[in-house]
Amino acid sequence: MRRQLLTLIALTALLVAPTYAFTIDGPTNFQQGGGIVRFGTDVTSYQYSIVNNIMQFNHYNDGDALQHGVLGFDAGTGVNMTVLNVAEYTVRYNVSCAGVGITYVMYNAQNHAPTGTNTDNIAYDAATKIATVTTTGNVVVTLNYGGLSDTASQGLEPFIALFPIVVMALAFEIRKAEIIDNKMFIYVIVIAVVALAILLLRNAGF
């Protein structure tokens, strides 16, 4: 049984492709839409690209224990945008400009429009997941993507993560008791391994 379990774990690990992160120094300036984007702390990313005319960072991480998937940032002409912190359901950044400023944030792990503090208006494109944020003067903006359903789901995440492992362990015990045959046992194990691989890929930011 131990040998079978180790084999399954090894196969699952092979499903996750190796990736290599690069580090962005906080003061580094990025400029795409006319304004400047920089970071308040060192950030790691596995890929930098421009999609939908916005700078995107894959596997974004600013020092916490979470991989945040793909984050995109941009700023309008005359705007300096400094990304201060990204959490599971929030993005916090500083806007420095004279008068009205436009900034853009894309957070691919979120599926609905954010609410904001110190914002004049937020226009959200559900297709691209880009929030176009209008502000006035020098402000610190917090975009909050967390709703009631998101808050409730956070408590379930540890149980969801453990579920495929529990299913595999239960399948071994049920097969040992000869309640199911080998064919059904293999089906259950394959489904559990696929579910575990999906969870691992999701946590890695894919």
Report whether 175 contacts 183 (CB < 8 A): no
Q: Print pLDDT tens along the chain (206 aa).
A: 545 544 444 444 444 444 567 889 888 999 987 899 999 999 999 899 999 999 999 988 888 756 678 999 999 999 999 999 999 899 999 999 999 999 999 999 888 899 999 999 999 999 999 999 999 999 999 999 985 444 444 455 566 667 777 777 888 888 788 888 888 888 888 887 887 777 666 555 45
Contacts with 36 (C-beta within 8 Å, 6 or more apart), sequence order: 29, 30, 75, 79, 80, 81
Place of tokens 């960072």: 57
Query: At 72, which amino acid appears?
Result: G
